[in-house]
Amino acid sequence: MSEDALFYEGYGDFKGYSTPTLKKKHIRRFDKHVWQPAAFSSDMSILEFGCGTGMFLAYLKAKGITSFVGLDHDAKLAEYLPEGLSEHFLAADIWDYLADEKSANQFDRVAFFDVLEHFTVEDGLRLLRSLRGVLKPDGKIVVKVPNVSSPWGAQYQYGDLTHKVAYTPASIRQLSEAAGFTCTHCYGHHDGSRGRELTQAVLHGFLKRMLAKSPEIWTADFFAILTPKA
C-alpha cells in the first residue's frame, strides 16, 4: 500500500466524518462566498468535485438547483450525506469521470473546496485542463484553498499530511494561466461573525502598516474564480 493510501485509509477518522446540518448562517456564507461572486442561478447544472459529506450539496438543493452532482473518491461518504442527496452523489475516480464523453460540456459551474492542495502541481494542472472539457462554453470554476501567504494559513495547509501543494493568490493565477483559464477574482474566506470579521480587519490594517510587505489576502483560506480562455 502506498503512503498516500495509508493516509487516506483512515481519513474519515482523522476528519471526523459526520452528517452536516445546513443552517441559515451556512446559507449566508455560501451566498456571499460562492453564489454571488460566481453568478450562480437556480437553472444551472453544477458539479462539486470532492464533495465530502455534502454540505455544499445541501446548499444547492436549498437554493432550488435540481441538476447537480457531488463527486468523491470515498464511497463511505454516502453514509453521511444529508437526507435526499444520495441520488446526487457519485463515488468515482475523478480521472475516469473526466475522461467519460458523457461528462463533456455538462456543467455551468464546477466547485471544489479544499481539494486542489491534495494534488501535485502537475496533477493540479492536468485537473484544471481536464475540467475545461466538462464546462459549458460560458462556465466557471470556483476554487477554495488554504492561503499560505497569510500568517494564519499555515495551520490549514500543513495540518493535513495529504496536502501536496501550498497556494497563494499569485500561484493560483499562474496555475490558471498555464491551464488555459483567467483567474478573474481572488478573495478571502471570512468565516465567523460580523464582529469577528471587523476585529480581524482592524488587526490586519495594523499589521499592514507595520510590515514592509503584507499579504494580498489576509484570511487563512481564499477563493478564486476561473474562467476558460477563448
> What pLDDT, in 10s, does the model give residues 38-71?
999 999 999 999 999 999 999 999 999 999 999 9
Mean pLDDT of 3-9: 73
Residue ranges and CATH numbers for the domains of the chain are 3-228 (3.40.50.150)
Neighbouring residues of 82: CB distance < 8 A, sequence distance ≥ 6? 19, 20, 21, 22, 54, 57, 58
What's the mean pLDDT when you consider all of the chain? 92
pLDDT reported for residue 1: 52
For residue 127, the Cα-to-chain-centroid distance in whole angstroms is 13
For strand 135-146 and strand 221-228, is the pairing parallel, antiparallel, or unpaired?
A: antiparallel
Residue 98 scores a pLDDT above 60: yes
Grid coordinates given for 171: 500561484
pLDDT digits (tens, 9 = 90+) for 171-220: 999 999 999 999 999 999 988 777 777 888 887 887 888 887 888 999 99
pLDDT reported for residue 3: 63
For strand 221-228 and strand 181-188, is the pairing parallel, antiparallel, or unpaired?
A: antiparallel
- Residue 76's pLDDT band, with cuts at 50, 70 and 90, is very high
Please give the residue that has the higher pLDDT: either 8 or 67.
67
- Residue 12's pLDDT band, with cuts at 50, 70 and 90, is confident
- Residue 6's pLDDT band, with cuts at 50, 70 and 90, is confident
pLDDT reported for residue 202: 82
pLDDT reported for residue 207: 81
- Selection from 28, 78, 31, 32 nearest residue 51 by Cα: 78
- Report the half-sphere exposure of 52 (CA within 13 A, side-chain side): 16
pLDDT reported for residue 16: 84
Q: What stretches of 58-207 adopt beta strand conformation (E)? A: 67-72, 89-91, 107-113, 135-146, 181-188
Residue 164 scores a pLDDT above 90: yes
Q: What is the pTM of this model?
A: 0.90
